[in-house]
Chain A
Amino acid sequence: MKVLILGGGSVGSKLALDLEEPFALIEADPSRVWQLRNMLKGKEVDLRIIHGDGTSVDTIESAGSDFDVAVVLMNKDAENLEAVSILKGLNVPRIIARVNKSHNMYRFIGMGAEVFLHPIGYEEGLIRTMLFPDANHALQIFVRDGSPAIGRTIKELGLPKGSVIGSILRDDELIPPTPSTEIMMGDLIAIDTVGKKATQAWKAFSKTGKVESSGHLLFPLSNARDLGPIKEVELLSKHLGSEIVLIPLKDDHGLITSARGLISTRLPLRVLEPCPTDEPTRDDKECVDLPGLGHKDRYLLRTIRDHMEEGSPHLDVFIVPGPKPPILFMPFMSRPLDRMIANSPMPVLISRSVRKYRKILLYLHSNCVQEISVAIQLSRAMGSNITAVYRPRNSRRAQYLKRFAQVYNIKVEERKVIGNPTVELIKEVKESHHDLIIIKKDQKDIQTSQLRRLVHIWTGSMMLVP
């Protein structure tokens, strides 16, 4: 990989010192060029240090051609922008740019550059993770209710040395992190770490404080038909490293044994106590406010709530098999599954797929932080591509998604829809083959009857995020 660095300030020089690939560095200040030449004298890589203006085509062309990636680190956003546009014209495949003022970020992203915000400290580490992405080093955390990080500033979090908070997405606003930025519930935080610090950084957000604790895949079992999604559960557990939690809804020993037999012994598995068959106990009275749900469904909801209380930053999913398509579908009437989805505080996966997700469809709307988080975690684990469907007014959210996805090298395809979102979503679902749809469960854009159709009649998997 051949790297071009524009700007030899403190960050540029540190990056140059660390790099073990051939590179060229352009710096405008002659005395700094002299310093850099002295500094990098002993380095055994093919390197060139050029004195010249980083915003001039001639200088850049004189530095050489066929660069694989360019890192733009000059002090003014205007200069950086100009450099990005020149590099784009010279067909440099990847451009990483420093943004000095956060409001300029959209311009950079719009020009196709990958960006990070200045000043965040430890930038060279961040650039390195961007240059050589490694999924184990970069974390992405959705702060849930109960997490000990809520209300603390980044300084107080006590993140391990060498980890940097890249950006925070809160209520559809991308916040440049400073040491005094306070963490709030519902924040989506991208953390870049070096080495094996990831688990330690993770710890700061987990309520239980257990480093090894992973997400849960809640999987209810009531009859043999429920074994259908077991393949998908196994797949998710394998890729996400999550624990499978079997929830037997009746005391059927044979069913539990066959479920155990179907799941690979190498995956973490826990079987809960079977659902009590007697009449609702006093505890159930808390759930009496859920009309139209049976005794077992209430038991399930309580189990879900118990698991949510841990406040761990991992992805927890509740998995149900795809329902039998009814002969005559009545969109007006809600079924127990619909009510279950409506009441669940955890993402619900309607499982119908048996293979690894290759394409994930994500519907972006005005408040979609959690969906972005779920989509990125899944596609990171499975190496899938994301297709983001959004309306023109939400194009900023698509940019956030791209910003977060670029850290993990996830390919994001954009699909801007004009016209009615419900119809366009159905069209997209029907015409291109996606393995999974991720969508918020109740929102203003999508017609409920069509969402129910997707849940009950569609042939692929679907995840409904609260």
Chain B
Amino acid sequence: MSELDPFLVLTLVAILAFVAPFFAKALKLPLVVGEILFGVIVGTILHLLDNFGLQISLTSDVLEVLSTLGFIMLMFMVGMEHDLEELKTFSRREKWSVLLILAANFLIAVTAVTIFGLPILIGILLGGVSVAVLLPILRELQLIRTGFGFKIMLIAHLADTIAIVLISVFTASLSGWVALIEILVIPLAFMALFWLMDILIWHRPRTISRILNPNDQSELGVRSMLAIVLIFYGLAFFIGMEAILGAFFAGMLFSAIFKERGALMDRFMPLGFGFLIPIFFIYQGFELSFLSLWDPFAMGLLLLFILTGAISKAIPLLASRFFKHRWSDLAGAVLLGTNLTVVIAGVNMGQKVGMIDPEVASVLILYGIISCVVFPMIFKRIFRKYLERYLQEDTR
């Protein structure tokens, strides 16, 4: 096996990262989906070459570190998409019904998975919803400002958060109950830091203003964000837990403290989406291969995942008549089937813990990709016109 120089690999990744957006655009896919699909294709090619006797290993320590950083950054960005204050606009009854729907969703997904003898972790993954993918889709369809869009986003936000917390708790529970108690440190640290920052803004607005000023030469904002992300990451690491929850909470903290985070995001985006996150996605894709899907077992598994992912959301939504209209309930269920970030995070962690083997992992990731391509397409083709009629009636 020939080991390539890490910088050569980095160059390759950088070129791929540059080309990926064009690729995604050509196929009309969301960028995230396009990137990972691109990575998988490259991975498949490498596996093909492997079959012909040409072994190239693209793994290296440098990339490993960069990819982990990209993963942390991704979870941070996902956390930042959440706005706790948006919850206020919903009535208590709506919040409870959403919580019940989500409980049913996870229960159905976990039950379905355990029946087929797969680990519970996969069930949790299938119950998730990807906010990062859903948000641009709703924006594109101009549904984000409607009541339907708001409700969908509420479910998505909560499902995303719950799935990530559940994954962390679940993996922590494997190393004993002490870890479960230790996990409480994160929300506590969240509250404490929120309060601290709140006081700091009030008493030292000048200092904070300097941190947030986009014209600051020393880029204090990016430094402070990196510091907070890595503090949370370190905290999570220290209590023997995966970083995912730490980075996620750090993102939520930032979005909670600085309600209007546009300027901050603008400066962090280049580092995240321009450099580290593509590396993570593409590197993740390298290790997977479509070849492993040429197997009835894998195909069946993929079908199972897609069906479970959709049904687990459709049943509670239809039963509770959340959108008060059968067509829009179905449309909501289809839209909520999109699920990628949680799956990738879960697969990453599941593989480290040893719960998910590489073959199932590639099927899961493929499920993630397909869900992000197929479900929005079904929504656009079939449900949009019904929904438009419903929205018109609604406004009348």
A-side contacts of B202, CB under 8 Å? 426, 450, 453, 457
A395-424 interface mask toward B, CB cutoff 8 Å, 1 = contact, 0 = none? 000000000000000000000001111111
Cβ distance B127 to chain A, nearest Cβ, rounded Å: 29
Instruction: Evaluate contact between A424 and B201: CB separation under 8 angstroms.
Output: no
Residues on B with C-beta less than 8 A from A424 are 205, 209
Q: Is A420's CB under 8 angstroms from B258's CB?
A: yes
A418-B214, A418-B263 given; A450·B206 CB < 8 A: no
- Please report the C-alpha to C-alpha distance between residue A431 and residue B205 in the assembled complex, in whole angstroms: 10
| Cα distance A390–B264 in the bound complex, in angstroms | 17
Q: Quick check: is B269 within 8 A (CB to CB) of the other chain?
A: no
Stretch at the interface among A152-160, A198-206, A441-449: A441-449
B97 to chain A, nearest CB (A): 18
Chain A residue numbers with a CB within 8 Å of B198 are 331, 449-450, 453
B195: nearest residue on chain A (CB-CB)? A331
Residues A436-466 near B (CB distance < 8 A):
444-450, 453, 457
Interface centre among A447, A448, A449, A453 (most CB of B within 10 A): A449
Which residues on the A side are within 8 Å of B260 (C-beta)? 420-422, 444-446
Is B205 a contact partner of A419 (Cβ separation < 8 A)? no
A418 touches B215 (CB 8 A): yes
- Indicate if the CB atoms of B208 and A423 lie closer than 8 Å: yes
Residues of A with C-beta under 8 A to B85: 448
Contact (A423, B212) CB under 8 Å given A331-B195, A453-B202: yes
- B89 CB, min distance to chain A CBs, angstroms: 10
Chain B, 135-189, CB within 8 A of any chain A CB: none
Known: A420-B260, A447-B257. A426 touches B201 (CB 8 A): yes
Contact between chains at B214 and A419 (CB < 8 Å):
yes
A426-B205 contact in complex given A331-B198, A418-B213, A418-B214, C-beta closer than 8 Å? yes
Q: Do the beta carbons of A419 and B213 come within 8 Å of each other?
A: yes
Q: Is the CB of A447 within 8 A of B258?
A: yes
Q: Using known A-B contacts A331-B198, A449-B198, A450-B202, determine if residue A423 contacts B209 with beta carbons closer than 8 Å.
A: yes
Tell me whether B258 and A422 are in contact (CB under 8 A).
Answer: yes
B259 proximal to A (CB < 8 A)? yes
Using CB atoms, name the residue of chain B closest to A446.
B259
Interface residues of A in 40-58 (CB under 8 A from B): none
CB < 8 Å neighbour of B212 from A419, A447, A448 = A419
A427 to B204, CA, bound (A): 8
Contacts of B260-276 to chain A: CB distance below 8 A: 260-261, 263-264
Q: Is A430 an interface residue (CB 8 A)?
A: yes
Count residues of chain A with CB under 8 A from any CB of chain B.
21
| Closest A residue to B258 using CB positions | A420
Given contacts A331-B195, A418-B215, A449-B198, contact A423 B205 (CB under 8 A): yes
CA distance A447 to B156 in the complex (A): 23
Determine whether the beta carbon of B195 is less than 8 Å from that of A420: no
Nearest CB in chain A: distance from B263 CB, A: 6
**What are the residues of chain B within 8 A of A427 when measuring CB–CB?**
205-206, 209
B91 CB, min distance to chain A CBs, angstroms? 10
Instruction: Give complex CA distance A423, B214 in Å.
Output: 13
A residues less than 8 Å from B261 (CB atoms): 420
Nearest CB on A from B29, distance (A): 30
What residues of chain A lie closer than 8 Å to B205, measured between beta carbons?
423-424, 426-427, 430
Give the shortest distance, in Å, between B265 (CB) and chain A (any CB): 11
Instruction: From known contacts A331-B195, A427-B206, infer whether A422 and B213 are also in contact, taking CB-CB under 8 Å.
Output: no
Chain B residues near A450 (CB-CB < 8 A): 198, 201-202
Q: Nearest Cβ distance between residue A456 and chain B, in whole angstroms?
A: 11
What residues of A have a CB within 8 angstroms of the CB of B209 in the complex?
Answer: 419-420, 423-424, 427
- Residues of chain A with a CB closer than 8 A to B213's CB: 418-419
CB distance from B175 to the nearest CB of A (A): 32
Bound Cα distance A450, B258 (Å): 10
Bound CA span A418–B264, Å: 11
Among residues of A, the one whose C-beta sits closest to the C-beta of B85 is A448
Note all chain B residues with C-beta closer than 8 A to A331. 195, 198
Chain B residues contacting A426 (CB-CB under 8 Å) are 201-202, 205
Within the complex, the shortest CB–CB distance from A445 to chain B, in Å, comes to 5
- Is the Cβ of B259 less than 8 Å from the Cβ of A447? yes
- Whole-angstrom distance between the alpha carbons of A426 and B212 in the complex? 13
A424 to B212, CA, bound (A): 9
- Interface-central residue, A419, A446, A447, A453, by most chain B CB under 10 Å: A419
Q: In the docked arrangement, what's the CA distance between A422 and B261, Å?
A: 10
Give CA–CA (A202, B261) in the complex, Å. 43
Q: Residue of B at shortest CB range from A428?
A: B205
Chain B residues closer than 8 Å to A430, beta-carbon distance? 205
C-alpha spacing A444/B262, complex, angstroms: 11
Q: A331-B195, A427-B209 are in contact. Are A444 and B201 (CB under 8 A)?
A: no
User: A426 vs B202: C-alpha distance in the bound complex, in angstroms?
Assistant: 7
Chain B 79-97 near chain A by CB (<8 Å), digits 1 or 0: 0000001000000000000
Q: List 21 A-B contacts (CB under 8 A).
A: A331-B198, A418-B214, A418-B263, A419-B209, A419-B214, A420-B258, A420-B261, A420-B263, A422-B201, A422-B260, A423-B201, A423-B205, A423-B212, A424-B205, A426-B201, A427-B209, A430-B205, A446-B259, A450-B201, A453-B198, A457-B202
Binding site for B on A (CB under 8 A): 331, 418-424, 426-427, 430-431, 444-450, 453, 457
Give residues in B with beta carbon < 8 Å to A.
85, 195, 198, 201-202, 205-206, 208-209, 212-215, 257-261, 263-264
Q: List the 5 closest pairs (A to B, CB-CB), nearest first.
A: A427-B205, A419-B212, A426-B205, A420-B212, A447-B259
Q: Kindly list 14 other residue pairs between chains A and B, CB separation below 8 angstroms, not including A420-B258, A420-B264, A421-B260.
A: A331-B198, A418-B263, A419-B212, A420-B212, A422-B260, A423-B205, A423-B212, A426-B201, A426-B202, A430-B205, A446-B259, A447-B259, A448-B259, A450-B201
